[in-house]
Amino acid sequence: MPKLCANLTMLFNEVPFMERFAAAAKAGFRGVEFLFPYEYDKAQLSEALRKNNLVQVLHNMPAGNWAAGERGIGCHPQRSAEFREGVDRAIDYASALDCKQVNCLAGIRPPHVDPIDARETFIRNLQYAAPKFRDAGIKLLIEPINTRDIPGFFLNYTEQAADIIKAVGSDNLFIQYDIYHAQIMEGDLARTIEAHLPLIPHMQLADNPGRHEPGTGEINYLFLFRLLDRLGYAGWIGCEYKPATTTEAGLGWASAYLSAA
């Protein structure tokens, strides 16, 4: 059975953010993830998790100026010092929240930066970050993202992520496999998941088109869940989708999995 966690950035957005923890627990979730914790007090977040008996499954490293359209700085050659500061900040928050996984967004490649230079920068940054996170007991992940939702994003394909992990040479670098992004960029989901499963400790889901809940689009999630059971996948699956109406109205697809949580 899939182990689902609620993405609080996108789910239960009918209520203020700090109230979403209770809403997720009430709906049957036992874990949560969200983009960034940094604008909130660590103690306040930790108390919300404790009070609602929730696991903080994952959050992202600082990703530059999100409001201005930045989506990570991992591949930006001129911002390595800022990246390193972000490593320390992410470890500080993840440790306070007992979060065992942090995602590093590669970012949109600046137009003036050659793709080779962007790749080398990303590799160097990950070579710095991965052992830091390992020493803190935290897995570091990288996520391929589709170029329709984020034009120019540097990391787009599962095999590309695997090649970067190989080049980094760390045993503490993994893939966050987002099924929605992967369907758009490469498809062949079952074979790709099976081939790369040792590198995948965390997944995310949404249907396509529309990025709504499973059952609204073309992806056969029942088949994929059965495949993951057969393969012995033990990680969480983050529900990172835009509810077609409200979060609660759209949770029928997950009721069997949440009731078993």
| Torsion 210-221-164-91 (CA) sign | positive
Q: Is 177 strand, coil or helix?
A: strand
Q: How far apart are CA 63 and CA 155, in angstroms?
A: 14
65 Ramachandran zone, left/alpha/beta (phi>0; psi -120 to 50): beta
CA 210 from chain centre, in angstroms, equals 18
Q: Hey, how many other C-beta atoms are within 10 angstroms of the C-beta on 174?
A: 23
Q: Which residues are catalytic?
A: 143, 240
Q: Calculate Rg over the CA atoms of the chain.
A: 17
- DSSP code of residue 113: S
Q: How far apart are CA 153 and CA 107, in angstroms?
A: 6
- DSSP code of residue 147: T
| Torsion 205-43-66-91 (CA) sign | negative
Measure Cα distances from 56 to 13, 60, 201, 202, 207 in Å. 18, 12, 14, 13, 24
